[in-house]
A and B are shown apart, each in its own frame.
Chain A
């Protein structure tokens, strides 16, 4: 049985602080690309957190979720960027 609080939880708490700093930028960002940059950073940190969860609980399925999340966040970032350019789709 794996205990709930092992040493990878310290890494996860540090990553949570990084996510909180990015959320502050998303809230107070002056322009729209600032917020998009914050959301992109949050996406990358969440992918890393999912991989750390997979290593901490020894569940491989979390890492598969991280792969799918990476590809979907990439597509959403490209879509928002295309929308900001104002071009036709």
Chain B
């Protein structure tokens, strides 16, 4: 059956990306890269796993006329929409809070967000736009 093969492939992709999120959360060096791994990979894996659950519901609705299948598919789609709306917003809030509470990225020397955003230096376009560049001598 082609539906079962697609469901298992989607489950495999989703579990693989969730495992990448766990490994990245353990291996990355500072808060911002950990946030990058933990949020993007879980969002992408959740799309595939809940998509496979939607396919399971559609399969039991179309091929065996089970109305619980359609309810399962629609409610899983609502859960997917909730994850897709709330996960990036939460990650943005955590990153902003981490920067405001004084956590710097690893090996960073320039903090561009430290200045007030109201004082604009429009005339000069200096080379300070290369944020978080490595200091050559001291590292």
Contact = CB atoms under 8 A, between A and B. Distances in A.
Interface string B32-74: 0011001100110110011001001100000000001001100
13 contacts: A14-B15, A14-B19, A31-B31, A33-B31, A40-B90, A41-B39, A47-B83, A48-B14, A60-B75, A67-B78, A70-B82, A77-B94, A80-B97
Interface of B: 11, 14-15, 18-19, 21-23, 25-26, 31, 34-35, 38-39, 42-43, 45-46, 49-50, 53, 56-57, 68, 71-72, 75-76, 78-79, 82-83, 86-87, 89-91, 93-94, 96-98, 100-101, 103
Interface string A38-80: 1011001101100110110010100110110011011001101
By secondary structure, the B interface counts as: helix
Nearest to B12: A11
A18 B76 contact: no
By secondary structure, the A interface counts as: helix
B103 A52 contact: no
Given A67-B78, A67-B82, A37 B38 contact: yes
Interface centre among A32, A41, A52 (most CB of B within 10 A): A41
Interface of A: 8, 11, 14-15, 17-22, 24-25, 31-34, 36-38, 40-41, 44-45, 47-48, 51-52, 54-55, 58, 60, 63-64, 66-67, 70-71, 73-74, 77-78, 80-86
